[in-house]
Structure 1
Amino acid sequence: MKKDSRQLRVGVLGCGPIAQFAHFESAVKASNCRLYAICDAAEDLARRMGATYEPDKIYLDYDQMLADPELEAVIIATSDAFHVPASIKALEAGKHVLCEKPIGLSVEEVETLQAVVERTGKVLQIGHMKRFDHGIEAAKRFIDRDMGERLALKAWYCDSTHRYTMTDAVQPLPILSKAALKPKENPKADLKRYYMLAHGCHLVDLARYLCGEITWVRARLLERFGAYSWFVETEFADGSLGHLDLTVAVRMDWHEGFQLYGQNGSVTAKTFNPWYFRSSEVEIFDERTATYHRPLGADGHFYRRQLEGFARVILDGAPMQGADIADGLASVKAMAAIARSAESGDKIFVADIRGAV
């Protein structure tokens, strides 16, 4: 594990499961980052994670971590309700931010955050790690360079009833604390909203990453035997069509992927449960040569790769590959539009949307 001579000094806010499963290891393994600090209000959890991952500093107070002049960037790995206020605090303190998805819960709070990003000039990247999936990266290159005009996208994200049986077999046992901070409202009290925010944000961001802005949506939602299924008709700014399928949970294995049809070829992809750290299986068909191309994607640690990409933007001035604040706002608007359309049955224009998801 070779480290670069210049490493971004990163602090992680939150020592819960997502930090344990993804972000601590990413900061330790990333070639251009250093796990400089960790912070959690639960002292028992912070001390235990500190003993395991050995950061330079352990903080129990977020403001104290942000006041550290050596800290350069923060990974926000907290509950969704804390994303915007924690991001604003970090930006105001002069720190760059990599924040877990979704970036916010309403259009208005994300717009408030956007204003702070623009005023401070700091980098804010959202944790849509699928943009750093090697197979999806290869698909994106073909789409942008060689596919020509896009015709239509079909994309699906279907969580599985067997998801936790499978992930419990491969993930470490999460360390929890009774002193952990929790949002005032239980995010799972409204499952429709929770599933859209937790899972729909991935589907929406992938669609936008591959095909550009979503101009309008028309959605239907069916709830049956404890499952929720959204079928969403979309149109993109270039006039291409889309169909998004968000189903939680299917009675089968994890089912995620997309098909994209274009002028000079097509792409099909199968994406795996993220905790297998396995790149998507992608087949690219090039009509001009009548050949298929299938990248191996040997490096499937997209959480580490997204952190390295974040650091390159800050340290090297590299272009942003990850989702920025404009992407985050567009995703929140699209999710809110899907929710409104599912209630009314109407076509909803994304640009017109206000309010919460």
Structure 2
Amino acid sequence: MPPKESRLLRVGVLGCGPIAQAAHFEACTKARNAELYAICDVADDLRDRMAATHAPTCSYNDYDKMLADPQLEAVIIATSDAFHVAAAVRALQAGKHVLCEKPLATSIEEAESLRAAVNASGCTLQVGHMKRYDAGLQAAKTFIDGPMGQMVALKAWYCDNTHRYAMTDAVQPLMVTSKHARKPSENPKADLDRYYMLAHGSHLVDTARYFAGEIKAVDARLLNRAGIRCWFVDVEFANGTLGHLDLTVAVRMDWHEGFQIYGEQGSIIGKTYNPWYYKSSEVDIFHESDGSTHRVLGADGHFYRRQLEGFAETVLNGAPQTGADLEDGIASVRAMVAIAQSARSRLPVTLSDVAGPL
């Protein structure tokens, strides 16, 4: 890991559950320009265990007390989806910068309500679409924005697999739980259509937008058969690019995620790995100009650490925001709502016409 810089962003992590344990605590301790200043969780046993393991400067069982700490500069919101917006608003009102786990919200209106809080605070809000910090995807984006010319078509897929947990359990830390942890009033997994779209579809939608820009309309189909949910989504992008998205949970094969992009002066084929392997995507970029193919090799694959470093660079040094900003987070929620409405109605849906929750 790179050595720590002299000026570190003092970060507090809200929530000591699985995503904090698997990603954010380590990202804070390894980031070159940030530190794990504080952790917060209402479950005393879980919080004490994490404090003993990761050694933050401070540990809190009350979120407002953590936000009142004048030394705290930024918060990573690593809670259940239902708590994201309220926690973000409280942090912004306290003058703290926010890196919020995806999805930003579970309804369009809830996501849009953050605009006022962000504008009033003057703080940075970034959404945790960490795949934007995959070096393979970044190489593809550089080609798209430069020599590729006009994009013609994009196909992208995100297919979780039945053997996912046997694979990830071998590389993730032992997840510690507590019966005292705060849970949403409704079980997020009670509606699996909604749960899979929020958990997995948010990645797929943001990757598509990262490459091809704003989504204008969607035409979605959903099939639930043999315990497999499959969304096929035809996408109309605002720039005229044709798109097709495949979200399938869970395929009877290896983890299957990637994309193909066809452009005026070249094409791109990408294979993305399960994120917990911390392996950058294998991305082949074909240049029509000289008939050659290029691939990034040996890239830094700690997406969560790189995400935090980019966020800290914006907060500390005013660097341009390289991750998903507030408007990206809102647009992702809007696209998921449109896909869900299109799948239910079996009709095309224009994103500007949608409202409400997923």
For the aligned pair, the TM-score class normalised by the smaller chain equals: over 0.9
Q: Which amino acid letter does the alignment assign opposite residue 41 of structure 1?
A: V
State the aligned residue count: 357
Q: Which amino acid letter does the alignment assign opposite residue 356 of structure 2?
A: G
CA distance in 1, matches of 2:195, 2:325: 22
Map of 2:304 onto structure 1 = 303
Aligned runs of 1:2-151 on 2, under 5 Å?
A: 2-151=3-152
Q: 1:298 deviation in Å? A: 2.4
Q: 1:346 deviation in Å? A: 1.0
CA distance in 2, matches of 1:149, 1:135: 20
Over the matched positions of the two proteins, sequence identity in percent amounts to 67
CA distance in 1, matches of 2:236, 2:320: 27
Contact persistence 1:161–1:250 (CA under 8 A): yes
Q: 1:297 deviation in Å? A: 4.3
Aligned runs of 1:151-170 on 2, under 5 Å?
A: 151-170=152-171
Aligned runs of 1:239-318 on 2, under 5 Å?
A: 239-318=240-319
For structure 1, the residue ranges without an aligned partner over 5 or more in a row are none
CA distance in 2, matches of 1:35, 1:169: 25
Q: Which amino acid letter does the alignment assign opposite residue 166 of structure 2?
A: T
State the superposition RMSD in angstroms.
0.6
Q: TM-score, normalised by structure 2?
A: 0.99
Q: 1:43 deviation in Å? A: 0.6
- Over 3 Å counting, the alpha-carbon distance change for 1:288 and 1:133 in structure 2 is same
SS of structure 2 residue aligned to 1:242: strand
SS of structure 1 residue aligned to 2:158: strand
SS of structure 2 residue aligned to 1:158: strand
CA offsets per residue over residues 315-335 of structure 1, 9 Å max, x none?
111111111110011111100
Q: 1:120 deviation in Å? A: 1.3
Q: 1:114 deviation in Å? A: 1.9
SS of structure 2 residue aligned to 1:206: helix
Map of 1:179 onto structure 2 = 180
For structure 2, the residue ranges without an aligned partner over 5 or more in a row are none
Contact persistence 1:134–1:297 (CA under 8 A): no
CA offsets per residue over residues 134-191 of structure 1, 9 Å max, x none?
1001000000011100000000000000100101111111011110000000000000
Shifted more, 247-256 versus 106-115: the winner is 106-115
CA offsets per residue over residues 7-51 of structure 1, 9 Å max, x none?
000000000111000000000000000110000000111111111
Task: Point out 4+ residue stretches in structure 1 off by more than 6 angstroms.
Answer: none
SS of structure 2 residue aligned to 1:246: strand
Contact persistence 1:280–1:297 (CA under 8 A): no
Q: TM-score, normalised by structure 1?
A: 0.99
Contact persistence 1:133–1:280 (CA under 8 A): yes
Q: 1:60 deviation in Å? A: 0.5
CA distance in 2, matches of 1:209, 1:58: 36
